[in-house]
């Protein structure tokens, strides 16, 4: 199940029963679902039986019973994230892309994230770390964990995610994790917990919307012996992809959050701790 989404090789040219598929009419109008014999795709723009899609070549145009056109596409992680049902702010693809690289998150990574929120980031982490890796995801609000479970079920309820309904004030169950990422308002209050869950020299990252929060975090990072600190933000501007009037789009997301990274170190005078 994990490989099906990560492996975007198009080895099989046609859609098969059990595949995750998208019907899209525009770049932002995506419907993602699993193809099931006898299933029906239904929107206000008409109905398309799954049996009509099974065996069809990816990229083909298909009409609903009302004559509305859609394209049959294999959804990628960008579309999966963009269509995630959310009750919280979820992280943006531009930020996630850099976080994965900066924190060295890939096949086999074992890591903690908190809070789970709607599970937007959890889905991407699960797909990235694969069967050999594991995501331990902590969230204090039960309704959020339930929503995240539902969102994860859409990509096949991967076995490499374990959810905990818990305030991280109480600490984490894991030790020697490769990485810990916190997406919650006060990461500076939990650095002792992060330190005891991370392998020395491991990767810590967090996202904060305001500079006031960063100042507090920087002070606490030093106090808790974190070094190699980086603070950055990622700006991204889309362009109108039209040959005759190629220029930036009118609106952009000007601010999502600052990204802060650091690594816990053991100084010579603490090496026997």
* Interaction site with ligand SAM (CB under 6 A): 88-91, 114-115, 117-121, 138-141, 144, 167-169, 183-184
* Least Cβ distance, residue 262 to ligand SAM (angstroms): 18
Quickly tell me which residue has 């959810």 as its tokens.
163
| Dist. CA 217–CA 64, nearest whole Å | 53
Residue placing its CB nearer to ligand SAM in the complex, 72 or 117: 117
Name the β-bridge partners of 179.
111, 203
Residue facing ligand SAM at closest CB distance = 115
When the beta carbons of 21 and 91 are compared against ligand SAM, the nearer one is 91
| Closer CB to ligand SAM, 2 or 99, in the complex | 99
Report the residue number, 64 or 137, with the smaller CB distance to ligand SAM: 137
CB closer to ligand SAM, 72 vs 99: 99
Least distance between ligand SAM and beta carbon 256 (Å): 11
Query: At its nearest, how many Å lie between ligand SAM and the CB of residue 186?
Result: 7
Closest by CA to 139, choosing from 130, 151, 131, is 151
- E strand map for the chain: 20-26, 29-34, 40-43, 46-49, 61-63, 69-73, 110-114, 134-139, 161-165, 177-182, 198-208, 226-232, 258-264
Q: How far is the CB of 195 from ligand SAM (least distance, A)?
A: 16
Q: Do 265 and 105 form a contact (C-beta atoms < 8 A)?
A: no
CA angle 124–130–134, rounded 5-degree value: 85
Q: What is the DSSP letter of 118?
A: T
CB 50 → ligand SAM: shortest distance, Å? Answer: 29
């Amino acid at each position: 199940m994990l490989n099906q989404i990560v492996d975007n090789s198009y080895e099989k040219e046609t859609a098969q029963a059990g595949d995750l598929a998208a019907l899209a009419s525009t770049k932002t109008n995506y419907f993602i679902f699993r193809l099931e014999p006898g299933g029906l795709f239904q929107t206000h723009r008409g109905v398309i039986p799954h049996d009509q899609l099974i065996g069809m070549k990816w990229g083909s145009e298909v009409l609903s019973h009302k004559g509305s056109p859609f394209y049959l596409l294999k959804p990628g992680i960008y579309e999966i994230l963009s269509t995630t049902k959310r009750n919280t702010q979820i992280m943006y693809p531009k930020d996630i892309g850099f976080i994965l690289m900066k924190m060295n998150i890939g096949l086999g990574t074992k890591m903690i994230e908190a809070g789970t929120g709607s599970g937007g980031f959890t889905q991407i982490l699960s797909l990235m770390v694969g069967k050999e890796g594991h995501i331990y995801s902590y969230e204090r609000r039960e309704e959020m964990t339930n929503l995240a479970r539902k969102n994860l079920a859409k990509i096949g309820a991967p076995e490499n995610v374990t959810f905990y309904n818990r305030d991280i004030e109480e600490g984490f169950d894991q030790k020697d994790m490769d990485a810990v990422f916190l997406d919650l308002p006060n990461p500076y209050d939990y650095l002792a917990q992060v330190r005891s869950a991370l392998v020395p020299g491991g990767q810590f990252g967090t996202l904060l919307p305001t500079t006031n929060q960063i100042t507090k975090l920087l002070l606490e990072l030093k106090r808790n012996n974190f070094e190699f600190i980086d603070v950055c933000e990622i700006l991204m501007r889309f362009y109108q992809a039209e040959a005759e009037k190629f220029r930036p789009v009118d609106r952009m997301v000007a601010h999502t959050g600052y990204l802060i990274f650091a690594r816990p170190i053991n100084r010579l005078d603490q090496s026997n701790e």
